[in-house]
Amino acid sequence: MGMQIVSSATGMQRLAKKWQRADVRIGFVPTMGYLHAGHLSLVRTARKRVGKAGKVVVSIYVNPTQFAPTEDLAKYPRDGKRDLKLCRAAGVDAVFTPDDGAMYPGKSLSQQGARATGFSTYVREEELSRRMEGAVRPTHFRGVTTVVAKLFNIVLPNVAVFGQKDYQQATIIRRMVRDLNFPVQIIVAPTLRERDGLALSSRNKFLNEEQRAQATILYHALQATKAAVKQKPVSAARLQADLKKFITAAPLARLDYVEFFDPETLAPIQQVRRGTQMALAVVFDQTRLIDNARL
């Protein structure tokens, strides 16, 4: 049987339960589409985890509840036909392509998020989501955890694969799975990069030629910080001040934040040393890029 395309939540759930009854392992890669080589590397990881006899499912859904009114929901890149072609070539067994009505029944979804009547249940993580992306985008992670919880209940995976580029997101998903007893193993796969170090992202397409050339400043900032703490600890305040100067030397770059924290708890660290996790966000006009590294 070739790749199956399923748009209804009940249809996907029926298919997953059929596989479960046959003792078939399910690997899952949730995406918002506009797939690139980074997504396909997650698919390969999922395949390795479930084996040839297992099934790999990719979801393609631009989730409106994780976008604030000021963010780029309407502009988020979409290319469904290309996505399906890439999934088929990658050996994906099923692609789940719901619409808003399937994911948020009874809701009127808009740039302002979910409204009206009929859907009123959300999943919210209250500790790891306070800082970094959560501070800048206060409603973002509530949308992420809600949609991922729903996808887990629909796809019923044994294994789900996320990318390390969204480090805070992956850590929050792990915590949600632990706290709410989801029977899912979470795999965090390495960030895939361009040859010049820029992390692959669907938003990279919004960069013009000059912005794209300067966007490597994120990768260079990570590498410079690794070198700075290689021999001895350095204060986070000093590194943040140095990195602000380093990043804004690229004239089109605006630093949103740079943070140093414990890789498990995401708690801030004052003395940065090898083993500390670092994350940063940099804005080019309206395009916001994130990256991270273990120092």
Tell me the C-alpha distance between 195 and 54, whole Å: 33
Tell me the C-alpha distance between 295 and 287, whole Å: 26
Q: From the candidates 36, 39, 140, 220, give the one annotated as an active-site residue.
A: 39
Tell me the C-alpha distance between 215 and 289, whole Å: 8
What is the phi/psi pair of residue 181, to 5°?
60, 40
User: Torsion angle of alpha carbons 78, 82, 83, 84, nearest 10°?
Assistant: 130
Active-site residue flag, 39:
yes
Which of 200, 154, 153, 172 is closest to 41 using CA atoms?
200
Paired strand residues for 291? 280
Q: Which amino acid is at 288?
A: R
| Cα torsion angle, 181, 182, 185, 188, sign | negative
Tell me the C-alpha distance between 10 and 79, whole Å: 24
- The edge-to-edge listing of strands for the beta sheet with 159-163 is 4-6, 94-96, 55-60, 26-31, 159-163, 185-189
Tell me the C-alpha distance between 122 and 143, whole Å: 8
Q: Which amino acid is at 38?
A: G
Tell me the C-alpha distance between 233 and 7, whole Å: 51
| Residues identified as active-site | 39
